[in-house]
Amino acid sequence: MTKRQTVSRVLRNIHGYKGKVVLSLALSAFTVALTLYVPILIGRAVDAILGAGRVDLEAVLKALAGIAAATLLGAAGQWLQSAVNLDISSGVVRDLRQQAFDKLQRLPLSYIDGHPQGEVVARVVSDAEQLADGLLMGFTQLFSGVLTILGTLIVMLRVDLGISLVVMLITPVSLVVAGFIARRTYDMFAEQSAVRARQAALVDEAVTGQKVIRAFGRERIMGERFRAINQCLERCTVKATFFSSITNPATRFVNGLVYAGVGIAGALSALGGGITVGMLSCFLSYANQYTKPFNEISGVLAELQSALAGAARLFELLDAPEQEPDGVLELRKARGRVEFDRVHFSYTAKPLIRDFSLGVEEGQRVAIVGPTGCGKTTLINLLMRFYEVKEGAIRVDERDIRAYRRRDLRRNFGMVLQDTWLAEGTVRDNLAFARPDATREEIEAVCRACHCHSFIMRLPKGYDSPIGENGDMLSQGQRQLLCIARVMLVLPPMLILDEATSSIDTRTELLVQDAFARMMKGRTSFIVAHRLSTIRSADLIIAMRDGRIEEAGTHDALLQKGGFYAHLYNSQFAGSGREKNG
């Protein structure tokens, strides 16, 4: 996205606050008018002092009273303007952050998988904060600066055309210098934002994987990686800040030339009787007021480069392609018939699922087995529409799942994964995640069935105990039991169990398997398992290899066949002394 496009997008987002923008402009004009009036009063006071013993005290006191009133009113107007500008900038960024968060809910999982979490967080938080700071400074100083320049110029032209021309001829040099530097610092601030996002991604990775990092003794390596990114960020920041900081001294030098030019031209005019000494002092004040906004605007331009770089990254997130359009058909309660019809899918150019066809009847329990990377979990992702099939179709109750609304489709599936996820909050909040209206009795009954009631009651506050981010206060097995209970509380017509008991001890697993058996009764179920002893009772076992069905049948039939499944099954018991044929 070019800088021009970014500015256009920012202005479109500000358009919703046009009423407050108009108010800010009005307050800015009011403040500038009072600021411009003060030098006139000062000039009148100077002209009222004619010499020793020749002071028009009444005129001086009147001018001083006017200066005091104008200063107080100007301060009040400036305070109100700052409050309005803060409301505008914070409101715009609040809206953009909300849009970005809503966008994340609509983006395909391929986008989330392809971008580091820390980088996505940096776009929503840090880059938006940069934009807020730039907008606030822009509204506060840019409006006032431009109005001050225009107002001062008009007043000076009315007082003396010759001296005004001196100011007008020298001042454009300041604009040329500021513009030249601003154009070159934009790319520097864009690079700074990108490196900052990489740093945030690495910090997120280091925090979430701290146990693994320490277990493998990678602290020094991670420290070196962070040090390298940190040094890169330092170089980018110093470079961008250094070049942007040149703007202010350069414009101040030009402003000094303006002030000197006004002083010399004004003194010559006063000596020739063209203007009074009071008007000369007034002109010098105006020259100072006229050049001061150029310094402020140059600072604003440098800040805006950083803000626009952050805004461009945020808009890239907002413009990312969304997932395929949602369906329109409603699916209240599915019967549970599922059909895979010549399905093809790949995450990259290399095919993963190829010409996959399978029919699953209502209430049937289907186990999916195979070596790592054969496409078991991918089938689940396709069934839930986390990813869309490339070719072919998946049907539920004789209709393509792409015709259903995603929300309705997913409401008909209960899903327990090997990787647990719990939100920050209490045990009860997490159990009732999909059923906030569930009663305490219903929650406890499910937890007893899943054999997690006892450890919950040992927590300090029982079901009201906070469990920390992603349940870090619990063991992996306890977290998995809570995820199982969460699905059992909803009890949808179809179930997906992807290594759902992988982190549970053998004794508890046997008890949970009984609960699963009761839960799966009459429900279409897909079971992904590596421990093949847990799927003997499945109605249909699908043995996959390289994205295709290698074998299909019952446990006993596949063992008697002595093929791929039998090899997988027997390999788990090789050398254990346990019966191979179950």
Q: What is the CATH number of the domain that holds 480?
A: 3.40.50.300
Q: What angle do CA 375, 378, 382 make, to 5 degrees?
A: 135
Give 33's DSSP letter. H
- Residue 268 shares a structural domain with residue 313: yes
Domain boundary among 318, 343, 373: 318
Neighbours of 368 (CB within 10 A): 25
- Residue 313 shares a structural domain with residue 448: no
| Helices and strands, number each (H, E), in the chain | 22, 10
- Residue 148 shares a structural domain with residue 264: yes
- Residue 511 shares a structural domain with residue 374: yes
Distance separating alpha carbons of residues 61 and 45, to the nearest angstrom? 8
Give 323's DSSP letter. P
Strands 365-369 and 524-528, sheet pairing: parallel
Distance separating alpha carbons of residues 228 and 226, to the nearest angstrom? 5
The domain tally of the chain equals: 3
Kindly report the backbone phi and psi dihedral angles of residue 291, in degrees, each rounded to the nearest multiple of 5, phi listed first: -85, -25
Distance separating alpha carbons of residues 315 and 181, to the nearest angstrom? 24
Residue 214 burial by CB count (10 A; 0-12/13-18/19+): exposed, middle or buried?
Answer: exposed
- Residue 42 shares a structural domain with residue 120: yes
Q: What angle do CA 320, 324, 329 make, to 5 degrees?
A: 145
pLDDT tens, the chain, 582 aa long: 677 888 888 888 888 888 888 898 888 888 888 888 887 787 777 777 765 556 777 887 888 888 899 889 988 988 998 888 888 888 888 888 899 898 988 888 888 888 887 788 888 888 888 888 887 777 777 777 778 888 877 877 777 777 777 777 777 676 677 667 767 777 788 788 888 888 888 888 888 777 778 877 788 888 898 999 999 988 888 888 787 777 767 777 777 777 777 777 777 777 777 667 677 777 777 777 777 777 677 667 667 777 888 888 889 889 988 887 888 888 888 888 999 999 999 887 678 888 889 999 998 999 998 888 888 888 888 998 888 898 999 999 999 999 999 889 988 998 888 777 888 889 998 898 888 888 999 999 988 888 888 889 999 899 999 887 777 778 877 888 888 888 888 888 898 888 766 666 777 677 677 777 777 788 898 988 777 767 888 889 999 888 888 889 988 899 888 888 888 888 876 544 444 443
- Residue 508 shares a structural domain with residue 540: yes
Residue 32 belongs to domain with CATH number: 1.20.1560.10
CA 99 to the chain's CA centroid: 9
Please check whether residue 517 lies inside any domain of the structure. Answer: yes
pLDDT at 537: 81
Q: 484 lies in which domain range?
A: 422-491
Cβ atoms 191, 8 nearer than 8 A: no
- Residue 7 shares a structural domain with residue 102: yes
What is the value of pTM for the model shown? 0.69
